[in-house]
Amino acid sequence: MARVVFIGVGDVELTRRVVSALVLGAGLRGELEIVLHDDDPGKLVTTERLVRAIDAEAGSEAKIRSVFDRRQALRGADFVVSHLDIGGFEATLRDFEIPHRYGLRQTIGDTIGIGGIFRGLRTIPVLVELARQMADECPDAWLLSCSDPMAMTGWAVHEATGYERFAGLCHAVCDTHAYLADLVGRDEDEVSFLSAGLNHQSFVLRFEAGGRSLYPELDAVLEADPQLRRHVRAELYRTFGYFPTQSSEHAAEYVPWIMRHPDETARLGVPVEEYLRRVGKSLHLYEETRRALSAGHPLLIRWQHQEPAAAMILAMLTGEEKEIYVNVANRGLIGNLPEGCCVEVPAVVGAAGARPRAVGDLPVQLAALNRTFLNVVELTVRAALDGDRSHVYHAAMLDPNTAATLALPAIKALCDELIEAHGDLLPPAVRA
């Protein structure tokens, strides 16, 4: 029996998608144990009800239990699916409201930017501790992290713990592949893709069918549709020559040319403070799920693009090999990005585990964009692991959007105010 442990179950939709795929997996009836853990007892009760309802609807006869003690939950795990949101809505609100008073505009703020830096500072210590606990309680288990900021947390886990069975998993690459195939009127199975880079800043390096590039067909589609051209992704594609895998909202924050200019955010349709609306929607969805459970409505998702965490677990359990994009330590995988940073590349996943694929050097302009991103990532990792408050300032000063908007004294004052506001959620040495 395979034991799958969920650490952090507040995102009921993510849990619903992953569990639905698992309980529908071929040949797994009666072969799954699902263990749920969260620090919030109310969320734990709701999610256990959700998982039991999905299991009953699928008839999969999984063994399901909730465990409030995390070490006990981890004991004997084969897979650990982690989704951490340290500080929850209140911390996210601070990440937006305080910078807003300084005139710093954000849209998502979960991966880079001032919001990404402070989310990283909150999340890194918790995920590192989780990996250390897994080394004690379930050393052969896979840690499948669905937590942002992935480039920061993945680098920190590998460096601080050496835990090798780690993969950060995000649906952005597979969603982009499906989107591009649809734009040029192809079935996704017809198209050969290769993407690589950093989580939330990878690029589609190969987009082909029958050995021929489909980029000229994409150019024709964009040329014929002015609305499609008015997206950040399209703007970056036209500028750098390769289509980015992340949404326009995310992509706008990773460069210095957009968020500080109201005319540019208007031209490119970038919604300022979009993430607060998404968090509000997630809170509403949680309440909707509770009502659906009380009313006995069906909640099993039968038709879906598999969530990467579920796809990875199923490939390992069934032995049916599958290509899945993973975020792992750069051990010769991308030649012109720093060794040891956390990169996003395809991997062949099956019964033997995950074999990340080396993709060689990125086009030089893409590697340069990634290295700009990695400056912020590395400094945040150093701040968290070394307990060096000065690196919090350095990360913010080198962040493209923050640096383009604020002078150095304002950046330092903003960081000091956020450190004070987040308090005990941050590493103690950073607060000193």
Would 378 be classed as within a structural domain? yes
Would 52 be classed as within a structural domain? no
Would 154 be classed as within a structural domain? no
Q: Shortest CA distance to 155 belongs to which of 364, 356, 379?
A: 379
Residue 287: burial class (beta carbons within 10 Å; 0-12, 13-18, 19+): exposed
Please answer whether residues 115 and 99 qualify as being in contact, where contact means their C-beta atoms are separated by less than 8 angstroms. Answer: yes
**Summary mean pLDDT of the chain:** 96
Who contacts 227 (Cβ-Cβ below 8 Å, separation ≥6)? Answer: none
Would 380 be classed as within a structural domain? yes
Residue pLDDT, tens place only, 334-370: 999 999 999 999 999 999 999 999 999 999 999 999 9
**Per-residue confidence (pLDDT) for residue 10, from 0 to 100:** 87
Residue pLDDT, tens place only, 69-112: 999 999 999 999 999 999 999 999 999 999 999 999 999 999 99
295 vs 284: CA distance, rounded Å:
17
Would 372 be classed as within a structural domain? yes
- Active centre residues (catalytic): 171
Residue pLDDT, tens place only, 377-432: 999 999 999 999 999 999 999 999 999 999 999 999 999 999 999 999 999 999 98
Q: How many domains does the chain have?
A: 1
User: What is the percent of the chain where pLDDT is above 90?
Assistant: 96
Would 66 be classed as within a structural domain? no
Residue pLDDT, tens place only, 311-332: 999 999 999 999 999 999 999 9
Residue pLDDT, tens place only, 194-210: 999 999 999 999 999 99
Would 77 be classed as within a structural domain? no
351 vs 341: CA distance, rounded Å:
26
Would 215 be classed as within a structural domain? yes
Please answer whether residues 308 and 322 qualify as being in contact, where contact means their C-beta atoms are separated by less than 8 angstroms. Answer: no
Phi, then psi, of 350 in degrees rounded to 5: -165, -160
A 10 A CB-CB count for 101 gives 9
CATH number at residue 358: 3.90.110.10
**Per-residue confidence (pLDDT) for residue 46, from 0 to 100:** 97
Q: Show the domain range for 421.
A: 88-108+169-272+305-432
pLDDT(305) > 90: no
